[in-house]
Structure 1
Amino acid sequence: MTVLACTCNRTQPIDAQALQAALRTPVVLHHALCRREASSFQRAACHDDELIVACTQEQRLFTELATATEGVPPPDVRPIRFVNLRETGGWSRDAQRATPKMAALLAAARLPEPEPVPTVRYVSQGRLLIVGPLEQAAALADRLSDVWQVTLLGTGGALPQVHQHPVLAGRVRALRGWLGDFTLEWVDDNPIALDLCTRCNACLQACPEGAIGLDYQVDLNVCRAHRDCVRVCEAPGAIDFTRSPEAQQATFDAVLDLRLQPAFTQHALPQGYVHLPPTLDAEQRLQRLWALRDLVGTFDKPKFFRYQQRLCAHARNERVGCRACVDVCSASAIRSDVEHNRIVVEPHLCVGCGACSTVCPSGALTFAYPDAAYQGRAIKTLLDTYRAAGGRDAVLLLHSQDAGQQLVQDWGRAARLDAALHGVPARVIPWALWHMASTGIELWLSAIAYGASQVVLLLTDEEAPQYREALQAQLAQAQAVLSGLGYSGQHMHLVQARDARDLAALDATIRTLPPAQGVAVAATYAVQADKRATLELALQHLIDHAPARPADDTIALPSEGAALGTVQVDPERCTLCMSCVGACPAGALQDNPAAPQLRFIEKNCVQCGLCVRTCPEQAVALQPRLWLHAQRREPRVLHEQPPFHCIRCGKPFGTLKGVETMLARLAAHPMFQGAAAERLKMCGDCRVIDIHTHADVRITDL
């Protein structure tokens, strides 16, 4: 492998020798690689097995050069990788100290691509529905008809006189779906059928109330039933006041909505739905319309999530426990299916934000592309390389690969020109995620275990409002763990910046972050596919190297977003009916076949609350915490009672508390008096024998 680095006309310092020593691979330094030294790139692209170019500014130029150069393998055979060193550190005020960070970014670029995952397919055949005022809808339809087969759904205005596009009218009942599969349901309840109307305007002239407008629909609140319009429309027969309202349905591949309020209320709109309200400026309208023209054809995207129902803590026995994923999803792609004790994710609506996997306490939902194991390798590579190259107090800055990455680049460029800005500090390592919400507490704590001083999440306007709340809750959990273990300082941060207007505030916030205390020894474990397994590995490493431990080995955690904790049982209420055991999805609550005991493995508890909602005696409560004792991995008895012994044979069955509670509740029931009440004190075998004995006596008496 070869790394081609460039000082960009000597505007950034790059220590090629130090980078080569840290990476143990050739690093060739240039000063104008994209211009007079471009031949060096062409030679390297022809002969090197793997090639990394430390420049993203001219990525398009280098890609075109590679395509035009004979002997360069195609990208699907040997991709050339590009890394941004300039804006991420080379143009910073402390660029001279950025070599460890540069080495880390280059080392991470050497990692293989994530494993492919199943895809979700959209098939768009070119059927477009435009919803909005008829004049605007018709004008846009004319401009899009070279790509789309357009149907109009009017919300007022004048209907075009020329029958150029089909026009629908009526009350919209529902619009749902996604690219290639939108379904419109409406009720056609107007006397004028637009498909028969010739736009002759005779009805408008005949109506004495002026109840018919240029949309050729009758305003029934104004109409006084003179029916002059029916008489003048005798030939086409488009007007019929006796026509019953008719439910209609049609399918479309895409929807262009011109109304002020969108048809969909979720933050992440469905693929293929384009909202074009009148409040947009000209540039925004052009961008959205231009993108719409590219939505005809067949498209594939990764299936971003994996779901394991056996781990899901959403529901048991039609009782709802955890619904964190349903509440956080900004695309309304997740719904509750209590009847089948699960959630259902619609992959066509999923936008791949990963927030569901971040808030999922059990790991039932995991982010698949790239998965946690890949992100863990990348984070470990970044931090290991940074430390080996002499870096200290690393800050892992996680941001999205779209708006977040653009913001980081703008920050670096602005610092080059504005002396008031510092730029990305040398100890801050930016790392792009598919989406900002796709990593959670197990990866953040793993970053600290791998040697990071701090983890910073950078949010922009592209993230849904509920993401901030969910991420803040998860960050609070992680910080509580670290503070409770004696690691001083603030390790977890969430920073929000809308766009380039907030660069000064972003620059000041990141630059002034004081380092927090990290681990004395960096972890060596690998991030697992199972979220809880990774969380346990991170916790154990942090516990093993904790600067201080609480005297009672207990760290209290915030209740919001907690995925660790214990269960408290009220012994005065609990009858050991074991309903909670049957409801527990994580195997944290267990019975004991050999004795009337309720046992609990704290490590397994995900704090979903199903036990609380299932308990008929309201005897169970949750307590978020991290218990550091080794017994958290072993069963311990939460509650036990003496057994109740059968009054006939003496065999134990049930518990004393359970039988006493049952007797008390049934004491006044007419079916359980006398001998029947005594049978409640018998085991199952003796109860059957007693019933048959008394039945034989009655037959003998007859």
Structure 2
Amino acid sequence: MPLDGPALQRALGPAASDGLDVVHTLLCRREAGAFQRAAKSGEDLVVACTQEQRLFLELNAETEGAPGVQERPIRFVNLRETGGWSKDVRARPTTLTPKLAALLAAAQLPDPEPVATVGYRSAGRCLIVGPADAAQRAALLLQDALDVSLLLTAPGGTLPQARSLPVAAGRVTALTGWLGAFEATWTSTNPIDLDLCTRCNACVEACPESAIDFSYQIDLAKCSAHRDCVKVCDAAGAIDFQRAPGETTERFDLVLDLGVEPLIGLHQPPQGYFHAADEAQLVSAALRLRGLVGEFEKPKFFQYKHKLCAHSRNEREGCTACIDVCSAQAIGSRRSENGPEKGGISVNPSLCVGCGACTTVCPSGALTYATPTPAHQGRRLRTLLAAYRQAGGPKLAGDAALLLHSQGAGVQLIDALGRAARTEPAVRGVPARVIPVDVFHTASVGLDLWLAAIAHGAAQVWVLMTDEEAPDYRAAVAAQMAVGQALLDGLGYRGRHLRLIEARDVAALDAALQGEPAQTVAQPAGFAVQADKRATLDLALDHLLAQAPARPVPEAIALPAASPFGSLQIDTGKCTMCLSCVGACPESALGDNPERPQLRFTEKNCVQCGLCVVTCPEGALALAPRLWLADGGKARKQPRVLHEMPPWACVKCGKPFGTQKAIEGMLTKLAGHSMFQGAALERLKMCGDCRVIDLHTNPNEVKITDL
């Protein structure tokens, strides 16, 4: 592939190694000495090849005077398949330099800060669930490494005569937990107790209907009432047709499910659970299960700030975006819980698989991704775009497309596309302007980072999803992209900037990566991505608004329902100014006025969670997704009055309290009630102080309701 060492050195600046003016070919073998010389320098080292990563690490370990990887990490970046072998690069070699400069610049960034971890402990106690023959085959693969128990789910098959493994029979009614902490519950209706059965086979021979097989379970559909099996059984109580169905609950570290339908039907099942519906899946699961004995840990992928959560308050439920999207069922509601942090959500870190979809759909920033943090990811994207722009010059500065992809199937598909571009004439490969960006999970990067990337000069942000991602993730990312694209369209930026690419093969990906760049900002932003999602969104929107091609800018941009921005519509005919919505709002978007009955609203703070809507007793509120841009976007940052009413004046002292509409409505509803007649009704027109004075002044008129 064409490499221009001096151009890369100029693009990367003083930090670039002096060796960049030398292009190495077949570095991993023929010129391994060049690597060893670089390794001995002790400086930060980036290897622009991933094919022979293992060889380079071994060479470093064997090179005298070279620091170990613990002292000086060696970073690897793939320049070849990600664009060096594409057809447009061969046609126009100079277009490759900006991408290579971007990838090399990002590769030199420091690693993310370490985060807290979640621990698992497994002693290897494994439950195999399924038919007898399949369970027995699985046990043969595992019993030398694990403590195996069998749970037979249906008659049929054969158990060995030797009772070497614990065996039970029944129907699984519940299976919960994770690696090292599974809890299985099953109900047994089999008349034969497998713990008592000696497997003498007398019952098999005695049964005239052949209802008993060598799994030692009875097919009750074939069985009649003659009970010859009971007569010949020598083990007391082993066969009992009168035995009530028994329920058993036991704990296991691992579960292997051999049923046709999985017991845990999640796209992201908990770690330690494996479903194998055929022999190939069984072998793969067995190999992984054998290694799951001991202590393990994974990152705690998320951070949760309860005070920002818009899910629930006062036992009312608002935003449920994170709960709905979680494919691992790791997130639950705390709507009805009491305590210092009542309401909100709970996230089980042991079940969390790190997809990050919850952080993408969270409108308030209560959930943020931690591995890496948004600030680290934002720095990486900004570095890529800045290096690309610096190396590309005026002609290429604004055409970069970021391709976010997973570190698993995404990397494999892009590598396959790069290799195919060398050998298949019809395959074009990764275009020079498309910069692949690997992430732990594609659903973990959302609207704040997408818009920040556009503000920093990206023409487009694409997200590649394969079979790895759950359907819920696709829907959530697509909905968020619709919001972002509506914002950019409303500001006048031409073209399609945000796109979800669903590709399962090279041909589909190759076709999806072609096309012209969309319009981006004339001047890239200089802000850094913040830890707070809303703060990053505000910075990105301010810059996109300042650079907006549309003139004049529209006063408001209508947005889809998934929008984290919007207003409130109020039916003033229904509103009584009870202000219950103010107490329900978790973001301080709604407020009152201590001086007079007013409902105030700061649109910038509203996350469209809907808590105010479900709290309003009169049904007077409705969400209105939009981005309000009046006064250059300043109006949305200032509180405005949504509704106000004249106050009710105390009939005794004239002090204002409540509203005329609220007091008049209360008087109308209670006027016909027997307990509110005469003085009792009149007291409803008084402020709190005057009501107490009147009660003491006229004690003979005190009613039960007054007390």
TM-score, normalising length from structure 2? Answer: 0.94
Unaligned runs of 5+ in 1: 1-11
User: What amino acid maps onto 2:648 in structure 1?
Assistant: F
Q: Could you tell me how far apart the structure 2 residues matched to 1:336 and 1:235 are?
A: 51
Could you say if the C-alpha distance between residues 209 and 672 of structure 1 is closer, same or farther in structure 2, counting changes exceeding 3 Å?
farther
- Tell whether 2:679 aligns with 1:675: yes
Could you say if the C-alpha distance between residues 550 and 469 of structure 1 is closer, same or farther in structure 2, counting changes exceeding 3 Å?
farther
Q: How does 1:404-443 map to 2 (within 5 A)?
A: 404-443=410-449
Aligned residue in 2 for 1:659: 663
Aligned residue in 1 for 2:143: 145
Q: Could you tell me how far apart the structure 2 residues matched to 1:208 and 1:681 are?
A: 89
* Structure 1 position 217, deviation (Å): 2.4
Q: How does 1:453-472 map to 2 (within 5 A)?
A: 453-472=459-478
Aligned residue in 2 for 1:31: 25
**1:165-206 per-position Cα deviation (integer Å, ceiling 9, x unaligned):** 110112321011111111111123433211111111112233
1:472, 1:494 within 8 Å by CA — same for their partners in 2?
yes
Partner secondary structure for residue 84 of structure 1: coil
- Tell whether 2:361 aligns with 1:359: yes
* Structure 1 position 672, deviation (Å): 1.9
Q: Could you tell me how far apart the structure 1 residues matched to 2:47 and 2:554 are?
A: 53
Percent of residue pairs identical: 61
- Tell whether 2:86 aligns with 1:92: yes
More displaced, 12-21 or 234-243? 234-243
Number of equivalent positions: 680
Aligned residue in 2 for 1:7: none
**1:75-129 per-position Cα deviation (integer Å, ceiling 9, x unaligned):** 2221111111111111012221110110000000111100111001111111111
Aligned residue in 2 for 1:585: 586
Partner secondary structure for residue 150 of structure 1: strand
Unaligned runs of 5+ in 2: 338-342
Aligned residue in 2 for 1:476: 482
**1:494-551 per-position Cα deviation (integer Å, ceiling 9, x unaligned):** 11101x3xx2232222122x22111111111110100001000000111111112556
Q: Could you tell me how far apart the structure 2 residues matched to 1:329 and 1:153 are?
A: 30
Partner secondary structure for residue 681 of structure 1: coil
Partner secondary structure for residue 469 of structure 1: helix
Partner secondary structure for residue 382 of structure 1: helix
- Tell whether 2:615 aligns with 1:619: no
2:153, 2:171 within 8 Å by CA — same for their partners in 1?
no
Aligned residue in 2 for 1:4: none
2:138, 2:282 within 8 Å by CA — same for their partners in 1?
no
* Structure 1 position 208, deviation (Å): 4.1
Q: Could you tell me how far apart the structure 2 residues matched to 1:564 and 1:698 are?
A: 52
1:335, 1:344 within 8 Å by CA — same for their partners in 2?
yes
Question: Residue 321 of structure 1 is aligned with which of 314, 318, 340?
Answer: 318
Q: Could you tell me how far apart the structure 2 residues matched to 1:235 and 1:684 are?
A: 82
Question: Residue 336 of structure 1 is aligned with which of 313, 333, 336?
Answer: 333
Partner secondary structure for residue 534 of structure 2: helix
1:489, 1:515 within 8 Å by CA — same for their partners in 2?
yes
Q: Could you tell me how far apart the structure 2 residues matched to 1:245 and 1:237 are?
A: 15
Q: How does 1:132-171 map to 2 (within 5 A)?
A: 132-156=130-154, 157=156, 158-171=158-171
**1:563-585 per-position Cα deviation (integer Å, ceiling 9, x unaligned):** 00001111111111011101111
Q: Could you tell me how far apart the structure 2 residues matched to 1:698 and 1:414 are?
A: 91
Partner secondary structure for residue 26 of structure 2: coil
* Structure 1 position 220, deviation (Å): 4.1
Structure 1: which 4+ aligned runs deviate by more than 6 Å? none
Partner secondary structure for residue 338 of structure 1: coil
Q: How does 1:372-451 map to 2 (within 5 A)?
A: 372-390=374-392, 391-392=396-397, 393-451=399-457
Q: Could you tell me how far apart the structure 2 residues matched to 1:89 and 1:224 are?
A: 72
Q: Could you tell me how far apart the structure 2 residues matched to 1:85 and 1:424 are?
A: 11
Aligned residue in 1 for 2:263: 263
More displaced, 89-98 or 68-77? 68-77
1:487, 1:517 within 8 Å by CA — same for their partners in 2?
yes
User: What amino acid maps onto 2:48 in structure 1?
Assistant: A
Q: Could you tell me how far apart the structure 2 residues matched to 1:685 and 1:316 are?
A: 31
User: What amino acid maps onto 1:663 in structure 2?
Assistant: L
**1:12-31 per-position Cα deviation (integer Å, ceiling 9, x unaligned):** 01110011111121224211
* Structure 1 position 606, deviation (Å): 0.2
**1:345-390 per-position Cα deviation (integer Å, ceiling 9, x unaligned):** 1111111010000000000011100110010000000000100112
Q: Could you tell me how far apart the structure 2 residues matched to 1:356 and 1:87 are?
A: 32
Aligned residue in 2 for 1:573: 574
User: What amino acid maps onto 2:277 in structure 1?
Assistant: P
User: What amino acid maps onto 1:673 in structure 2?
Assistant: Q
1:198, 1:236 within 8 Å by CA — same for their partners in 2?
no
Aligned residue in 1 for 2:542: 540
Partner secondary structure for residue 247 of structure 2: strand
1:135, 1:160 within 8 Å by CA — same for their partners in 2?
no
Partner secondary structure for residue 555 of structure 1: strand
1:563, 1:606 within 8 Å by CA — same for their partners in 2?
yes
- Tell whether 2:49 aligns with 1:72: no
Q: Could you tell me how far apart the structure 2 residues matched to 1:285 and 1:75 are?
A: 37
**1:612-670 per-position Cα deviation (integer Å, ceiling 9, x unaligned):** 00000100011000011312111111000000001111111101111112222223333
Aligned residue in 2 for 1:509: 512
